[in-house]
Amino acid sequence: MSSLLSGVNGFFGLDIGSTAIRLVELSGGSGARALTKYAYLPIDSNIALSDSKADQQKLAQTIAQLVSQAKVSTRNVAVGIPSSRVFTTVADVDRLPTNELAKSIPLQADALIPTPLAESKMDWALIGDSPNDKTKQEILLSSVPNKFVEERLDMLEAIGLNVIAFEPDNLAMARALSVPDASAQLLLDVGRRSTDLVVMLGNVPHLTRSIPTGTEAVIRAAMQNLNIDEKQAEQFVFKFGLSKEKLEGQVFQAISGTIDLLTTEIEKSIKFFETRYAGTKIERIIVTGGASVMPEFPLYLANKFGTNVEIGNAWRNVMFSRDRQNELLAISNQFGVAVGLAERTS
């Protein structure tokens, strides 16, 4: 694995999601880049989330098929890691020059991450001054089990790809969707099984979490409470969402309990963040993933938290010709991770 990126046309981003595989290739150096290729193929979530050899093989075949169909110009790829596999924490560490930090953090990491350091890939990024202790600075520390990363690497190399970087999905998504200003913004990617939450402040991730509630749980609640099958539940959820008027509010009533499992966790994260960084308020919430197209979900969040809620645009930093606008916006809610990976600069 090389960490040197050759800039122009150097690599593409690959999101191995639980309902689809997506890739994005951009061209141009730093600054706004132009869309060269994007492509996706749906997959069965049972395959995507399985660790069995046979399922992994099917997954590899689907990725190979997508890469060949998309005719990307390179075999170099930056790959997302599902946030549910990544442990992330914010830690206060002694103030040291960056090169000394790089030596000292691994020595402290064993006490900070849940798996043994020898069995984990660990990475960190400096956030800034610690809000608690003037003598310290804070870092965002992530770790992933070696086993998971090595299996992914083997799978991708076996289909002829050259992995130049792995990155947690949530950080890639935040790069693509966050608004480039100093405000505190909360990004939410509501996926199939889980929801990724990232709080950015001054465009630096300060808090990340994976919440084990996604659209699958919402659809299941609709099935059970309305006594309907999965197909119909999915249709109802994405057609009526949290509207209290549609269908006499029956869908709303069926799913609001599950939605509130999610909002309760979001609220905890907001409180945690606003307590740690006293005087800082979350000014906007940006939603993407499956639930961002659920009617009135953004409005529900806005009412609950008294905050501006926007639907994220995965292509906000990407240049493309005007006639592709509708086509791209229609799939924007599922491309945040792949675009963010393609926008990496190192």
Ligand X SMILES: Nc1ncnc2c1ncn2[C@@H]1O[C@H](COP(=O)(O)OP(=O)(O)OP(=O)(O)O)[C@@H](O)[C@H]1O
Which residues are at the interface with ligand X (CB under 6 A)? Answer: 17-20, 191-194, 214-215, 238, 289-290, 293, 333-334
Q: Which is nearer to ligand X, 44 or 283 (CB)?
A: 44
Q: Which is nearer to ligand X, 136 or 220 (CB)?
A: 220
How many whole angstroms separate alpha carbon 128 and alpha carbon 318?
A: 28
Q: Which is nearer to Mg ion, 17 or 205 (CB)?
A: 17
Q: Which is nearer to ligand X, 19 or 269 (CB)?
A: 19
Of positions 191, 298, 312, 340, contacts Mg ion by CB under 5 A:
191
CB of 333 to ligand X, least distance (A): 6
DSSP secondary structure string for all residues of 55-119: HHHHHHHHHHHHHHHHT-S-SEEEEEE-GGG-EEEEEEEE---HHHHHHHHHHHHTTTSSS-GGG
CB of 213 to ligand X, least distance (A): 11
CB of 220 to ligand X, least distance (A): 12
Cβ-in-10-Å burial (0-12, 13-18, 19+) of 27 comes to middle
- Strand-strand pairing, 308-311 and 12-16: unpaired
Q: With CB cut-offs between 5 and 8 Å by kind, which of ligand X, Mg ion, none does residue 241 bind?
A: none
Residue 20 near residue 336 (C-beta atoms within 8 A): no
Looking at residues 12 to 31 of the shown chain, list those that interact with Mg ion (rule: CB under 5 A). 17
How many whole angstroms separate alpha carbon 190 and alpha carbon 214?
A: 6
CB of 289 to ligand X, least distance (A): 3
CB of 191 to Mg ion, least distance (A): 4
Q: With CB cut-offs between 5 and 8 Å by kind, which of Mg ion, ligand X, none does residue 269 bind?
A: none
Q: Which positions lie near Mg ion, rule CB under 5 A?
A: 17, 191
